Amino acid sequence: MMQRNGLAGLALCLAVMSGSAMAQTTEGFASAPQSGPQFNDLDGPDSINAVSATSVYLRIAGSSFVPRNASTPAEYTSAGCIRATAAGGIYAADVQLPAGADVRYVRTYFYNNGTASNISTFFTEFDGAGAVTQHTSFPTTTNTGYDSTLSPSLAVTADPGNKSYIMAVNIGATDANLRFCGVRIQYFY
């Protein structure tokens, strides 16, 4: 029994150290006070105040996204945000949703300090047989500072037994003043 507990503890420690145990998190209604960047995500149809008790959020930090092309690595800036190091940098993250989850909105978090470019976000589904469905794509605004942009309303029912899902972003400029900080997926379950 002691050996089994020791192995389980070691596996958990290795997962936490590698970051894989913390790549995606879900949150309920109460959020801990934030320090650092403050995003305006309390307004809109996906806000905590506008949803019922069955609403869940899946957050994926920008630093969890990986480049689709090895020649365009991301550079970590701070607060979970990344910036593109080459023009047209596309970065993606795997999305794990429970079967039957009803996805309603995607919110993109970013920092833009006067850059004329933006970040485009894509929520995509693959069926493993070659079919691809783009559920949404939308650009961020060019507001100054930390902000967020909400997708149009969605009606996607997750089917992880038959389909795979990713979030992808295209960071439109290599400017240090344009950073991608993550996404929040709202779903009902």
pLDDT tens readout for residues 38-49 = 555 556 667 665
For residue 2, is it within any domain? no
Q: What is the CATH number of the domain that holds 129?
A: 2.60.120.260
Q: How confident is the model over 174-184, as pLDDT tens digits? A: 999 999 999 99
What's the pLDDT at 142?
80
- Find the range with the poorest average confidence among 53-57, 92-96, 101-105, 156-160: 53-57
Residue in this structure with the two tokens 């485009």, named with its chain if needed: 120
- Find the range with the poorest average confidence among 31-45, 100-114, 141-155: 31-45
The model's confidence at residue 76, banded by pLDDT at 50, 70 and 90, is very high
For residue 10, is it within any domain? no
Range of the domain at 76: 24-188
Residue in this structure with the two tokens 């949803």, named with its chain if needed: 51
Q: How confident is the model over 80-102, as pLDDT tens digits? A: 999 999 877 899 999 999 999 99
What's the pLDDT at 103?
96
Two tokens, residue 153: 């309303």
For residue 44, is it within any domain? yes
- DSSP bridge pairs for 83: 75
For residue 47, is it within any domain? yes
What's the pLDDT at 33?
42
As a whole number, mean pLDDT of residues 121-142 equals 95
For residue 69, is it within any domain? yes
| Alpha carbon separation from 137 to 49, 134, 189 (Å, rounded) | 25, 7, 23
Residue in this structure with the two tokens 């972003």, named with its chain if needed: 169
As a whole number, mean pLDDT of residues 13-24 equals 39
Q: How many domains does the chain have?
A: 1
Residue among 35, 61, 31, 34 at smallest CA distance from 49: 31
As a whole number, mean pLDDT of residues 27-34 equals 39
What's the pLDDT at 75?
93
For residue 13, is it within any domain? no
For residue 18, is it within any domain? no
For residue 168, is it within any domain? yes
